[in-house]
Amino acid sequence: MTVNQRGITPATDKLPDGCQLSSATTSHLETDTVNYGGWKSFFSMAQRYYCILSGSYMKIPYYMPFKPLGHINPSGDLITGMELYEFLAAQQHDIDLVSRLRSRWLYRRPWKLLNVALERKRIVKRFKSQKPDIWLSYHSYYKAPDLLGPYCSKKLGIPYTIFQGIYSTKRKRNPVTYPGFLMNRQALLKADLVFTNKRNDELNLKRLLPQDRVQYIAPGLKPEQFVFDLVSRKALREKWATAGRRVVMTTAMFRPGVKTIGVKKVIDSCAELMASGYKILLVVIGDGINRSVLEQEGNKKLGNNILFVGKVPRAELYRYYSGADVFAFPGIQESLGMVYLEAQSSGLPAVAFHNWGAKEAIVHETTGFLSDASEPDQFVRDIARLLDNRQLRIDMREAAKNHIRQHHDSKRNFQEVNKSLERLRLAHTGAVTE
């Protein structure tokens, strides 16, 4: 097990398939220095020196209150946090994972708040001699409020920022979540700038903060990792023995609650369509404690027309998306749903409910279909529309690929984060100088 100079253990051999750190991230985690062997490393070193001399280099303490990098339970939020970290590191900033302290439901265990005090003291002491430029925390909300960033940034005299801050006033009406609501609200109020990748959160944040302290950044991924692959399509469809059946795909973690309900909705929709004469193979990607429940449900209603393929490494997902004709997942209470971005980037039209986060990714009647959760039959009809019309599927496939590359390329979108951080640092430096 490798422990780096920051006391962080990458433990990439224990990472789940859905959340693998890239080689660049692993290298950055394992050492505070760069191996400058070879031309590639030479140019990397030159680029960093250029950034330092040009004033665009920043030393950034980076903290993830909800889940640290390499956490065993993958999620879309964790992937976004990892890719933001990777992007800023690639800009030659010194981005420092300052703590692995998880604040999730920490206020329910007040005896553990001593750990917060000790972490604060450790971080401030560590940076006293080498003051960083700006603090960035990833994902603060009522379950996992940022308990380090506001304090440490104030003590260090640097700007404090949050990516994916969430403000939900309904949490103050529940005595169980009220302490977390207050802690998170305090962190948001202390922030110089809060980034959000959800339009609903943007509206809620602007109820609490001035407009110039909230910035929307469209959700994204790396489109080059999710492409349509004709070779994989042919190989998988042969392996699946589709035999003239149209392939509907869904993917989720099989957790109890809305994830399981969502998969069941897709199973029921396909069963209803098959009863009307449609030839369908439902391919289900994912795993979790409710797998046996879903398998029993699927086999009962679809027989040999459902295939559970289990967990698929994220690097291989594009192959599976390429093998399908339609992606369907209702996305009940999904804050975003990375799967909609992945599927569309791979050329797969998507069907979902518009009530929650899917509308951030799917363009209705252009890259897929969105319907209201109060009209569940429309979800079924939307799947049928795509199954019925090959040309529509082709048109939406191309539109989906283009849409993701134009609006949801994380590298392009994170550039806006980088620019805003640089502006904030320069403004703070100027204010201190004056």
Q: How far, in Å, CA of 214 to CA of 216, rounded?
A: 7
What is the predicted pLDDT for the residue at 36?
40
Residue 364, token pair as written in the block: 């209705």
Residue 331, token pair as written in the block: 């996305």
Report, as an integer, the average pLDDT of 17-23.
Answer: 45
Residue 247, token pair as written in the block: 């392939």
**In terms of C-beta density within 10 A (0-12 exposed, 13-18 middle, 19 or more buried), how is residue 38 classed?**
exposed
What does each C-alpha distance from 96 to 27, 69, 173, 298, 315 come to in angstroms? 13, 12, 37, 46, 26
Where are the chain's structural domains? 12-220+410-433, 223-407
Report, as an integer, the average pLDDT of 208-229.
Answer: 96
What is the predicted pLDDT for the residue at 74?
60
Contact by Cβ (8 Å): 93, 425: no
| Main-chain dihedrals φ then ψ at residue 352, nearest 5 degrees | -160, 175
What is the predicted pLDDT for the residue at 8?
33
User: Can you name the CATH fold of 223-407?
Assistant: Rossmann fold (3.40.50)
Instruction: Give yes or no for residue 50 having a pLDDT over 70.
Output: no
Which CATH superfamily does the domain covering 12-220+410-433 fall into?
Glycogen Phosphorylase B; (3.40.50.2000)
The β-bridge relationship of strands 306-310 and 368-371 is unpaired
Q: Is the pTM value of this prediction over 0.85? A: no
Angle between helix 410-433 and 76-90 (nearest 10): 60
Residue given tokens 């429940």 in the structure block: 293
Percentages helix, strand, coil for the chain (3-state, rounded to 5) are 55, 15, 35
pLDDT band, residue 69 (cuts 50/70/90): confident
Same fold: 12-220+410-433 with 223-407: yes
What is the predicted pLDDT for the residue at 434?
46
Tell me which of 215 and 37 has the higher pLDDT: 215
Give the model confidence (pLDDT) of 251-263 as tens digits: 999 999 999 999 9
What is the predicted pLDDT for the residue at 35?
44
Give the model confidence (pLDDT) of 6-15 as tens digits: 333 333 333 4
Positions of E strands within 19-142: 59-63, 94-99, 135-140
pLDDT band, residue 334 (cuts 50/70/90): confident
Q: How far, in Å, CA of 161 to CA of 163, rounded?
A: 7
